Amino acid sequence: MRDTDPELSVVVPMYDEQEVVPMFFARMRPLLDGLGPSYELLVVDDGSRDATASLLLAAADDWPQLRLVRLLRNSGHQAALSAGFRRARGRYLVTIDADLQDPPEVIADMLTAARERDVDVVYGVRSDRSADTWVKRTTARLYYRLMCRLVGREIPFDAGDFRLVSRRVVDAVNALPEDGRVFRLVIPWLGFPSAEVKYARAERAAGATKYTVSKMFRLAFDSVTAFSAAPLRLATWLGLLGGLLSVGFGIGALVIKVSGQSIPGWTSTVLAVCVIGALQLLCLGLLGEYVARLFQSSQKRPKFLVGYDSLEDPGHQPLVR
Ligand code: UDP
Ligand code: MG
């Protein structure tokens, strides 16, 4: 870190948010100015097609701490967050939505929690989801259940992408070469010491959700495939099952032949189809196993991360939890 780097980077992805931009800035600016530590507000414009870009440019005129990054095309919320992680300079980084569903005032609590409790991650956890629709609540619950299983680590329930992380976490995330990063899974997976701050999630201040159903499916799909080869393994099991079924079917065809009820040529055709079908399914399953292995090694996830080394940081007492 350089001396000119701010203490805090607030990263906000925005996609077609012209209705909320003025409200967001009106609430954010006094808060960040009054917070104390030096900051940058890094807005990642995710290829907006409405007036968002011009509103942002106008605001940056008399706000030196407002930093704008514009993606060439709409790349999705998680990709916009990735861009923010790569470009932010702060010692701490907070990610927050533009629509004021995450109250900016909570950032102060997050900073305090990070410093006082000496943790690297502070999750914003929704104390009350009544502002969300029933469908959203139910799908969210299913999602978190499944993800806890797949990631094999405690994933804070009802934590979205409103959270604070330290520079150590930012560097660790940026070092992951994988694509299609899902931050709410990757960050708990890294395993840094963490704390939670509860907050009431508000309604969207204006405009409509930018998470279309297809984007939600994309997120769910990325989440599953990033942490599990189970769908590919499924091919192996289906292959085995199909193999067994066709063996049974082949035996049946033979029995029919022996009992003399079959038309000439029928048994050999059925047997050939069964054998070829079974072999193909099994080979597909085998391919799936190799693809799964290749995929996992292409992610190049670190086998471990060092939290403390007494040689590098002799004065520091490691956290014991
Ligand atoms: N967003 C984005 N790119 C997209 C979709 C959403 O940058 O393709 C941003 C959006 O502007 C907002 C945040 O991601 O700041 C969360 O989106 P939204 O509030 O629409 O999602 P919801 O709260 O309905 O899940
Ligand atoms: Mg929202």
Q: Does residue 6 line the site of ligand 1, with CB under 6 A? A: no
Q: Does residue 16 line the site of ligand 1, with CB under 6 A? A: no
Q: Which pLDDT score, from 0 to 100, does residue 73 have?
A: 94
Q: Which of 87-96, 162-171, 213-222, 305-314 is predicted with the least confidence, judged by mean pLDDT?
A: 305-314
Q: From ligand 2's centre to the CA of 209, what distance in Å?
A: 6
Quick one: average pLDDT of 62-75? 96
Q: Which pLDDT score, from 0 to 100, does residue 57 have?
A: 95
Tell me how far apart the alpha carbons of residues 92 and 161 are, in angstroms, rounded to a whole number: 15
Q: Does residue 47 line the site of ligand 1, with CB under 6 A? A: no
Question: Of the ranges 115-119, 176-180, 213-217, which is most confident?
Answer: 115-119
Token look-up 């976490």 returns: 169
**Chain segment 229-261, per-residue pLDDT in tens:** 878 777 678 778 877 888 888 888 888 888 888
Q: Does residue 95 line the site of ligand 1, with CB under 6 A? A: no
Q: Are 42 and 16 in contact (CB under 8 A)?
A: no
Q: Does residue 77 line the site of ligand 1, with CB under 6 A? A: yes
Q: From ligand 1's centre to the CA of 46, what distance in Å?
A: 9
Quick one: average pLDDT of 58-71? 96
What is the CATH T-level fold of the domain 8-227+301-309, as seen in this structure? Spore Coat Polysaccharide Biosynthesis Protein SpsA; Chain A (3.90.550)
Of 99, 161, 182, the residue with max ligand 1 atoms within 8 A of its CB, to mutate for a pocket test, comes to 99
Q: Are 12 and 80 in contact (CB under 8 A)?
A: no
Question: Helices 134-151 & 183-190, crossing angle to 10 degrees?
Answer: 40
**Chain segment 158-187, per-residue pLDDT in tens:** 888 999 999 999 999 999 988 778 999 999
Which atom of ligand 1 approaches the CA of 209 most closely? 20
Query: What ranges do the domains of the chain cover?
Result: 8-227+301-309, 229-299
Q: Which of 43-52, 137-146, 237-246 is predicted with the least confidence, judged by mean pLDDT?
A: 237-246
Which atom of ligand 1 approaches the CA of 207 most closely? 20
The radius of gyration of the chain's CA atoms, rounded to the nearest angstrom, is 26
The better pLDDT of the pair 49, 220 is held by 49
Q: pTM for the whole thing?
A: 0.85
SS (H, E, C) the chain: CCCCCCCEEEEEEECCCCCCHHHHHHHHHHHHHHHCCCEEEEEEECCCCCCHHHHHHHHHCCCCCEEEEECCCCCCHHHHHHHHHHHCCCCEEEECCCCCCCCCCHHHHHHHHHHHCCCCEEEEEEEECCCCCHHHHHHHHHHHHHHHHHHCCCCCCCEEEEEEEEHHHHHHHHCCCCCCCCHHHHHHHHCCCEEEEEEECCCCCCCCCCCCHHHHHHHHHHHHHHHCCHHHHHHHHHHHHHHHHHHHHHHHHHHHHHCCCCCCCHHHHHHHHHHHHHHHHHHHHHHHHHHHHHHHHHHCCCCCCCCCCCCCCCCCCCCCC
Which atom of ligand 1 approaches the CA of 210 most closely? 20
Quick one: average pLDDT of 37-48? 96
Which residue puts its alpha carbon closest to atom 10 of ligand 1?
A: 14
pLDDT over 50 at 301, yes or no: yes
The chain-wide mean pLDDT, for the chain, equals: 89
Q: From ligand 2's centre to the CA of 241, what distance in Å?
A: 44
Q: Which two tokens stand for residue 116?
A: 């006082």
Q: Does residue 185 line the site of ligand 1, with CB under 6 A? A: no
Nearest to 189 by CA among 145, 146, 150: 150
Q: What is the ipTM of this complex?
A: 0.97
Q: How many CB atoms lie within 10 A of CB 29?
A: 16
Task: Mark 196-233 as b/e (b = at least 16 C-beta within 10 Å).
Answer: bbebebeebbeeeebeeeebeebbbebbbbbbbbeebe
Q: Does residue 161 line the site of ligand 1, with CB under 6 A? A: no
Q: Which pLDDT score, from 0 to 100, does residue 133 have?
A: 81
**Chain segment 253-300, per-residue pLDDT in tens:** 888 888 888 788 888 888 888 788 878 878 888 888 888 889 888 888
Q: Which pLDDT score, from 0 to 100, does residue 256 have?
A: 87
Q: From ligand 1's centre to the CA of 126, what distance in Å?
A: 17
